[in-house]
Amino acid sequence: MKYKGSCLCGEITFEIEGEFESFYLCHCERCQKDTGSAHAANLFSSKAKLKWLSGKNKVKTFNFDGHIKSFCPNCGSALPNFQFDGKLLVVPAGSLDSDIYLRPQGHIYFANKANWDKELEKVPQFDQLPKDE
Protein backbone atom coordinates (compact mmCIF):
# COMPACT_ATOMS: atom_id res chain seq x y z
CA MET A 1 0.00 0.00 0.00
CA LYS A 2 1.21 3.52 -0.77
CA TYR A 3 0.10 6.63 1.06
CA LYS A 4 0.88 10.23 0.12
CA GLY A 5 1.03 13.08 2.57
CA SER A 6 1.98 16.70 2.96
CA CYS A 7 2.06 19.67 5.28
CA LEU A 8 -0.62 22.36 5.11
CA CYS A 9 1.43 24.81 3.00
CA GLY A 10 2.59 22.06 0.60
CA GLU A 11 6.31 22.78 1.04
CA ILE A 12 6.92 19.26 2.36
CA THR A 13 5.53 16.13 0.73
CA PHE A 14 6.16 12.48 1.43
CA GLU A 15 5.14 8.94 0.60
CA ILE A 16 4.72 5.95 2.91
CA GLU A 17 5.03 2.48 1.39
CA GLY A 18 3.82 -0.42 3.49
CA GLU A 19 1.16 -1.18 6.04
CA PHE A 20 0.39 0.40 9.37
CA GLU A 21 0.23 -2.03 12.26
CA SER A 22 -1.70 0.18 14.63
CA PHE A 23 -3.62 3.43 14.94
CA TYR A 24 -4.10 5.06 18.33
CA LEU A 25 -5.59 8.26 19.71
CA CYS A 26 -3.17 9.48 22.39
CA HIS A 27 -4.49 11.62 25.23
CA CYS A 28 -1.19 12.18 27.05
CA GLU A 29 -0.50 15.73 28.15
CA ARG A 30 2.40 16.06 25.70
CA CYS A 31 0.24 15.10 22.73
CA GLN A 32 -2.40 17.58 23.89
CA LYS A 33 0.24 20.32 23.98
CA ASP A 34 1.81 19.56 20.61
CA THR A 35 -1.52 19.19 18.78
CA GLY A 36 -3.44 21.88 20.65
CA SER A 37 -6.32 19.42 20.81
CA ALA A 38 -7.79 16.67 22.96
CA HIS A 39 -5.54 14.00 21.50
CA ALA A 40 -3.10 13.07 18.77
CA ALA A 41 -4.13 10.57 16.07
CA ASN A 42 -1.06 8.54 15.06
CA LEU A 43 -0.44 5.57 12.83
CA PHE A 44 2.45 3.23 13.67
CA SER A 45 4.57 0.88 11.58
CA SER A 46 7.76 -1.06 12.18
CA LYS A 47 8.02 -2.07 8.49
CA ALA A 48 6.69 0.79 6.31
CA LYS A 49 9.17 2.99 4.45
CA LEU A 50 9.12 6.78 4.47
CA LYS A 51 10.25 8.65 1.35
CA TRP A 52 10.44 12.45 1.35
CA LEU A 53 9.26 13.73 -2.05
CA SER A 54 9.97 17.41 -1.38
CA GLY A 55 11.21 19.58 1.46
CA LYS A 56 13.14 16.92 3.38
CA ASN A 57 15.80 19.47 4.33
CA LYS A 58 13.10 21.74 5.79
CA VAL A 59 11.66 19.20 8.25
CA LYS A 60 12.31 20.15 11.88
CA THR A 61 12.25 17.65 14.72
CA PHE A 62 11.72 18.48 18.37
CA ASN A 63 12.53 15.92 21.06
CA PHE A 64 11.22 16.70 24.52
CA ASP A 65 12.52 13.96 26.79
CA GLY A 66 11.54 11.19 24.36
CA HIS A 67 8.37 12.84 23.07
CA ILE A 68 9.27 13.43 19.41
CA LYS A 69 7.46 15.70 16.99
CA SER A 70 8.50 16.49 13.42
CA PHE A 71 6.90 19.46 11.73
CA CYS A 72 7.05 21.99 8.90
CA PRO A 73 8.74 25.19 10.12
CA ASN A 74 6.65 27.25 7.69
CA CYS A 75 3.10 26.15 8.57
CA GLY A 76 3.66 24.07 11.72
CA SER A 77 1.97 20.92 10.39
CA ALA A 78 2.87 17.65 12.11
CA LEU A 79 4.92 15.25 9.97
CA PRO A 80 6.11 11.62 10.20
CA ASN A 81 9.13 10.71 12.28
CA PHE A 82 11.03 7.70 13.53
CA GLN A 83 11.09 6.78 17.20
CA PHE A 84 12.71 4.07 19.32
CA ASP A 85 16.08 4.36 17.58
CA GLY A 86 14.50 4.38 14.13
CA LYS A 87 12.56 1.16 14.67
CA LEU A 88 9.07 2.69 14.68
CA LEU A 89 7.61 5.03 12.07
CA VAL A 90 5.00 7.36 13.60
CA VAL A 91 2.70 9.12 11.13
CA PRO A 92 0.19 11.78 12.20
CA ALA A 93 -3.04 10.60 10.57
CA GLY A 94 -4.01 14.13 9.54
CA SER A 95 -0.79 14.54 7.56
CA LEU A 96 -1.90 11.94 5.02
CA ASP A 97 -3.63 13.02 1.81
CA SER A 98 -4.56 9.40 1.03
CA ASP A 99 -7.53 7.64 2.59
CA ILE A 100 -6.80 5.50 5.65
CA TYR A 101 -8.66 2.22 5.88
CA LEU A 102 -7.48 1.32 9.37
CA ARG A 103 -9.78 2.55 12.14
CA PRO A 104 -8.33 3.74 15.44
CA GLN A 105 -7.82 0.73 17.67
CA GLY A 106 -8.11 2.58 20.92
CA HIS A 107 -7.49 5.56 23.13
CA ILE A 108 -4.17 5.55 24.99
CA TYR A 109 -3.21 7.54 28.09
CA PHE A 110 -6.94 8.01 28.54
CA ALA A 111 -6.54 8.82 32.24
CA ASN A 112 -4.89 12.08 31.11
CA LYS A 113 -7.69 13.15 28.78
CA ALA A 114 -8.71 16.81 28.76
CA ASN A 115 -11.50 17.64 31.22
CA TRP A 116 -13.64 19.00 28.35
CA ASP A 117 -13.24 15.80 26.31
CA LYS A 118 -16.58 14.26 27.34
CA GLU A 119 -19.56 13.21 25.24
CA LEU A 120 -18.29 15.19 22.24
CA GLU A 121 -20.61 13.22 19.96
CA LYS A 122 -23.49 15.14 21.60
CA VAL A 123 -22.08 18.57 20.67
CA PRO A 124 -23.86 20.16 17.66
CA GLN A 125 -22.20 19.43 14.31
CA PHE A 126 -21.82 21.90 11.43
CA ASP A 127 -20.45 21.45 7.90
CA GLN A 128 -18.69 24.81 8.18
CA LEU A 129 -18.16 27.63 10.64
CA PRO A 130 -21.64 28.58 11.91
CA LYS A 131 -22.83 32.13 11.31
CA ASP A 132 -23.63 34.31 14.28
CA GLU A 133 -27.32 35.03 14.55
- What per-residue confidence (pLDDT) applies to 85? 87
User: Where along the chain do its domains lie?
Assistant: 2-113
CATH fold of 2-113, please? 2.170.150
pLDDT tens-digit map of 103-117? 999 999 999 999 999
- What per-residue confidence (pLDDT) applies to 133? 61
E strand segments, 1-121: 2-6, 13-17, 22-26, 40-45, 49-54, 60-64, 67-71, 78-79, 81-83, 88-92, 106-108
Largest CA distance in the chain: 53
pLDDT, mean of residues 112-126: 91
pLDDT tens-digit map of 57-112? 999 999 998 899 999 999 999 999 999 888 999 999 999 999 999 999 999 999 99
pTM of the model: 0.91
Rounding to the nearest 10 degrees, give the CA dihedral for residues 58, 64, 67, 73. -20
- What per-residue confidence (pLDDT) applies to 21? 97
